[in-house]
Structure 1
């Protein structure tokens, strides 16, 4: 692989000097005008990754999800549609931070040597982007780096993030017993709709659903799916709103899943009528939040915790009905941000194990893989249900002893096809929720009444040095600064059903303080007291 060719290509896509770039859960994400050189360099890493994995296709997604339109991001998708292997996050960080074009190429070749990668072997990369205007510039930079490394490249143009994950897995499993689906955007819609119909088993969905698409890529893609959908057969009647992708400046503006979750209210436009069923996607359609306006008490949000408990409850019931008691391990994975009432409901009412992991989807996804059926959702609405190969095989091969057992096995098998197995997928998760509500015959109020959330508060605290704050116990306790956790524990003991924790922000020089307690005023008071403790220990 010619060094001069890569250097010449790299010179057309300079990085912005004086910045330190770090590959995180969302890949590299920042203001779009800083990203062109970063994206070029990510292409080099993707070219290496594909060759390291014997020419399997690697995905590159250009998106900044729920961020404003001026931001963008780039991240790598591994062959099975999962996130980049953790060790390679370090390689990505090192490669992107190479100070000169010559240093970049030297590190590229050193990495190839260290990892015993044959640079003469073939490599393949596929890419997609959301609707941000900066995406076309970044895709061009990516294409240049792949051309400079003689890497086969397919641009799937505008996609949701989950669609790019789906396509990556489909390409790498085509022609094998584990083939995931047809390698096309059309194949994605067909797989979801066929599984949706099978999972309903003739039941009809009642009441309309309004979907706020954050003026992002989910709007045109959901509309495309609905064109192919027979609403007479399923009863699903969807009204799509906030789907304007022609005015990029309104992407995620006062709408979308992140707005609903953080503001704890419905988007101002259009305004939901009392009793209507609503949900919001985020800008790249991998997060989902449901909500409704209770005619008596007002806005009520059904976030990732609520979706996880709904899915876990339904799947556990189906497993029992299918006669699979004791055969398959079902578990729920949460983070410290999950509401304590949801954890209690899962453990005591559903009688399922709960595993708590650090924040970040890669941690939840990894923990979910240790179960036959692993349900994971972050409170922000990003999540999915993973079914092991053993579980899927069991659904297909177990001999039913009754019509009820056959029904349950068929629905479980359909759910494994309906729920995106690669990554959280708002459109797929939305169809799952609609299936479950139809089977249970539940209204939004019935779903809301399963348990009562503990009042909680999240506070951002600016600190002198966020790196002073180090956590343990899945980020639920501070190990450093020494003594800080003891002070927090003393405050927590003063309140009923209370807990609180602090963790450093991944992107800002600040800490996030979470507190919950039996009443709203106690949760607010506790959060403010812990914020004072954090500020005192944080060098302010």
Structure 2
């Protein structure tokens, strides 16, 4: 390890003195002006991780749904999954080390993780469309080469595409071809094969309006649409030709504000969807005949996907272990529908995609979606082999179902939540089931809910258990929340500390919007009183 070269190059990416940033579920995110040193150092860390795992590691430059003046970076582990938690800690320490401490920190990581420094390292890099991303991906590459690593720069990619490339490279091409073209071909072939089975080919199922958040998703969908055009026609809005990234558009905006994005005209009962800025989330929506807006979020996507998979398994006669993974933010109606109507087991994890992905890997088939629209389905290697074998052997309806399931396996991006992949899965299922967006939406009715946040002096005073659904500290707070919940029908509430700022997030749901609002307000007051609230007491105005 040539620490002299590392230090010399680091001077070109100097850390602002005293700046402290934390590697979270989504990596580092901050205003772009604070990140150049982080990018360089994540290039260094990726080389160490590559040497330790003897695998290709990915580095993605993106801040997803953040405003375009921000940026961020995250590392991708060998099977396309999020960085291992112990390495998140290394990332944070490395990022915050002052210049003179950098060599010692690198040596410390190498020793703690028993990194063979003679091992070759290979890193793949991708970036989104932000103005700062090209310069930052070069800073990452500077870090990679300073430690003698080799690299491949994929340039502009959606985040899930880079996850896919890493997975392909580390499975010797078994998962797929590690090129953009390979990604387009694998997904589109599976989609076209699936939609050929649809008995109904009316236009109401085959045209989709897509809000691309003025991000990378527009660029990639434009390139890809020719591959799947015989199964689906897409109309792109907020495609990056005018308008700012994520500004008044995109999945996060639509989900948070419960209204359509700017720049998209919606006729009644037209099916529409939105990606986020780096195209790893998707939400659907439509306006009914009365002009009322209806959001179809990640909970309803999970329900559609798992019901379809279950139907196919029943048809084939296979009894695989299927599980749906949610977080505490999943609407209670979705959980009840899955458990009571569909008889599918539901598991709850802490908030954050890495927790859901990890839990989903425990099942033969694991479906996970956060309410924000980030999710996918995972199939164990044994199940995938069995299904593909049955697709060749079985005949009649069983053979048809097995072939459909084999195509669904190929259509999902099993490395990460992927808006393009999920869009094609959803469109195939709707076409095959002959469902409109309204019929899909009507599977169950969401319980009214409210999210608020309370400013506190120190968010660490709140600790939780039971996948963040119960408060451990401060003493007495959980008892108050439990007593408040008893006062409303079909209600529940929980609180959790923010991962990035000194606020406590409050979630409540109940049988009516007024009751959900009232419960959320009362829980906020309890948090303010018992957990060191600062500033003004929460008011019932619900401005959050």
Distance in 2 separating the partners of 1:471 and 1:110: 32
Quick one: which of 155, 158, 183 aligns to 1:188? 183
Distance in 1 separating the partners of 2:286 and 2:246: 20
C-alpha offsets along residues 66-105 of structure 1, whole Å, 9 cap, x if unaligned? Answer: 00001110000011111111111111111111122x3111
Residue 8 to residue 64, structure 1, CA distance change in 2 (3 Å): same
| C-alpha contact 2:269 2:286 (8 A) present in aligned 1 | yes
Distance in 2 separating the partners of 1:107 and 1:87: 15
1:335 aligns with 2:327: yes
Q: Which residue of 2 aligns with 1:481?
A: 474
C-alpha offsets along residues 339-378 of structure 1, whole Å, 9 cap, x if unaligned? Answer: 0000000000110100000000000000000011100000
**Range with bigger deviation, 25-34 or 196-205:** 196-205
C-alpha offsets along residues 287-320 of structure 1, whole Å, 9 cap, x if unaligned? Answer: 0000000113610010000000000000001000
1:274 aligns with 2:273: no
Instruction: Tell me how far 1:171 sits from its aligned partner.
Output: 1.4
Q: Which residue of 2 aligns with 1:301?
A: 295
Q: Which residue of 2 aligns with 1:242?
A: 238
Residue 205 to residue 381, structure 1, CA distance change in 2 (3 Å): farther
Q: Which residue of 2 aligns with 1:163?
A: 161
Quick one: which of 296, 310, 313 aligns to 2:307? 313
Instruction: Tell me how far 1:106 sits from its aligned partner.
Output: 1.2
1:520 aligns with 2:513: yes
Match of 2:119, SS state, is coil
TM-score, structure 1 normalization: 0.96
Instruction: Tell me how far 1:201 sits from its aligned partner.
Output: 3.7
| C-alpha contact 1:463 1:538 (8 A) present in aligned 2 | yes
Match of 2:141, SS state, is helix
Instruction: Tell me how far 1:172 sits from its aligned partner.
Output: 1.5
Instruction: Tell me how far 1:227 sits from its aligned partner.
Output: 2.5
| C-alpha contact 1:205 1:434 (8 A) present in aligned 2 | no
Quick one: which of 497, 503, 510 aligns to 1:510? 503
Q: Which residue of 1 aligns with 2:317?
A: 323
Q: Which residue of 2 aligns with 1:462?
A: 455
C-alpha offsets along residues 448-503 of structure 1, whole Å, 9 cap, x if unaligned? Answer: 11001100000111112211011110000110111001001111100000000011
1:143 aligns with 2:141: yes
Distance in 2 separating the partners of 1:114 and 1:472: 30
Distance in 1 separating the partners of 2:264 and 2:195: 30
| C-alpha contact 1:181 1:188 (8 A) present in aligned 2 | yes
Quick one: which of 345, 362, 367 aligns to 2:354? 362
Distance in 2 separating the partners of 1:19 and 1:405: 60
Match of 1:424, SS state, is coil
Distance in 2 separating the partners of 1:346 and 1:284: 29
Taking the TM superposition and a 5 Å limit, the aligned residue runs for 1:13-162 are: 13-54=13-54, 56-100=55-99, 102-162=100-160
Stretches of 4+ aligned residues off by more than 4 angstroms? 399-402
Match of 2:228, SS state, is coil
Distance in 2 separating the partners of 1:31 and 1:353: 41
Instruction: Tell me how far 1:400 sits from its aligned partner.
Output: 5.5
| C-alpha contact 2:189 2:228 (8 A) present in aligned 1 | no
Match of 1:12, SS state, is helix
Quick one: which of 486, 489, 496 aligns to 1:496? 489
Instruction: Tell me how far 1:518 sits from its aligned partner.
Output: 0.3
| C-alpha contact 2:28 2:74 (8 A) present in aligned 1 | yes
| C-alpha contact 1:206 1:438 (8 A) present in aligned 2 | no
Distance in 2 separating the partners of 1:445 and 1:383: 22
| C-alpha contact 1:322 1:400 (8 A) present in aligned 2 | no
Gaps of 5+ in 1: none
Distance in 1 separating the partners of 2:89 and 2:264: 44
| C-alpha contact 1:201 1:411 (8 A) present in aligned 2 | no
Q: Which residue of 2 aligns with 1:534?
A: 527
| C-alpha contact 1:205 1:435 (8 A) present in aligned 2 | no
Gaps of 5+ in 2: 534-544
Distance in 1 separating the partners of 2:112 and 2:377: 36
**Range with bigger deviation, 393-402 or 191-200:** 393-402
Distance in 1 separating the partners of 2:246 and 2:513: 28
Match of 1:11, SS state, is helix
| C-alpha contact 2:197 2:432 (8 A) present in aligned 1 | no
Q: Which residue of 1 aligns with 2:337?
A: 345
Taking the TM superposition and a 5 Å limit, the aligned residue runs for 1:174-213 are: 174=172, 179-203=174-198, 204=201, 206-207=203-204, 208-213=207-212
Match of 1:126, SS state, is strand
Match of 1:228, SS state, is helix
Distance in 2 separating the partners of 1:400 and 1:514: 49
For this pair of structures, how many residues does the alignment match? 528
Quick one: which of 445, 448, 471 aligns to 2:441? 448
| C-alpha contact 2:192 2:228 (8 A) present in aligned 1 | no
Quick one: which of 368, 371, 385 aligns to 1:376? 368
